Amino acid sequence: MTPSNKFEDFVELISVLRRECPWDRKQTHHSIKENLIEEAYEAVEAIEDEDYDDLSKELGDLLLHVVFHSKMAAENDHFTIDDVIYRISEKLIRRHPHVFDNVDVENEKEVASNWETIKLSEGRESILDGIPGHLPGLIKAQRMQQKAANVGFDWHKWELAWEKLNEEIDEWREAVESQDAEKRADEFGDLLFSLVNVGRLLDLNAEDSIRKTNKKFESRFRYIEKELKSRNKSLNDSNLEEMDELWNEAKNKSN
């Protein structure tokens, strides 16, 4: 078998692997579900790095999972890859009446509002239905806020949300001083949720922002480790003052 850029050839390739490879034959939906999440994050990283060669590879890995899961489902008469393609096509047409029907919209906000209304008409009980429970907390907070905003449940400007943020900061401070561990955790969550909300109203993505900060921290901390190693010292041999000095060096080098 040789590489091909045809979708049907790729589907056949997965079928061959399921028949002839012991590892591929052994897999189930559950055994590779975490890999699907990992591949999605690797695609996100490629997007953030603007590495389009890598992105094409990561999208291929995601496509592998789509076809692989569809193949396993077909083996058990659950659905086929044709069903997957039909269902997403039907959903996109149904949820874009301003493109495929005679519905007029003035802007993207009306599109988003119509989208939520259409989903409710499909049998959902809440506009929050459909948000995966396993989403990382910051992503889920922002998605819930966005969905609520799509139907008008939102601050009109970020300054009003900022007032709520300051209120949550004061409440968390009170909880910290109260020494009530459960209350501390509860108010800390409220503070994080409010912070996400302010960022969202300023067109900031909380998960993107924390990932960037994590990368900065990792880069600067690795610099500390590297510099200490060059001095034949370990982290345990150093003190906060020395590490903080190296942290500032790393910070200045990145500016």
52-105 tens-digit pLDDT: 999 999 999 999 999 999 999 999 999 999 999 999 999 999 999 999 988 888
If pLDDT is split at 50, 70 and 90, which confidence band does 158 have?
very high
Indicate whether 61 belongs to any domain.
Answer: yes
pLDDT for position 132: 87
Query: pTM value?
Result: 0.73
Tokens of 244: 């903080």
Q: Of 48, 67, 86, which residue sits at a domain end?
A: 86
Q: Are residues 18 and 54 in the same domain?
A: yes
3-state secondary structure of 28: coil
Cβ(10)–Cβ(63) below 8 Å: yes
Domain membership flag for residue 223: yes
Asked whether residue 241 falls in the same domain as residue 172, the answer is no
Torsion over CA: 3, 84, 107, 139 (sign): negative
Distance CA 187, CA 175 (A): 7
> Are 24 and 51 in the same domain?
yes
Is 224 contained in some domain?
Answer: yes
Query: In this predicted structure, what is the pLDDT of residue 118?
Result: 87
Assess whether 196 and 215 both reside in one domain: no
Give the model confidence (pLDDT) of 197-221 as tens digits.
999 999 999 999 999 999 999 999 9
Q: What's the CATH code of the domain at 56?
A: 1.10.287.1080
Count of structural domains, the chain: 3
If you average pLDDT over every residue of the chain, what do you get?
93
Confidence band of 3 (pLDDT split at 50, 70, 90)? very high
Domain that holds residue 224: 208-254
- Residue after which a domain boundary falls, among 181, 204, 227: 204
Same domain, 214 and 192: no
On the CB side of 203, how many CA atoms lie within 13 Å of its CA?
0
Q: Which of 86, 105, 125 is a domain's end point?
A: 86
Residues 213 and 238 in one domain: yes
Flag whether 132 is in a domain.
no
Report if residue 215 sits inside a domain. yes
Whether 237 is covered by a domain: the verdict is yes
| Residue 102 within a domain | no
| Tokens (6 digits) for 75 | 């083996």
Continuous segment of H or E residues that includes residue 72: helix 52-75
Quickly state the pLDDT bin for 134 (edges 50, 70, 90): confident
Cα 175 to Cα 184: distance, rounded to the nearest angstrom? 5
**93 located within any domain:** no
pLDDT-derived band at 245 (thresholds 50, 70, 90) equals very high
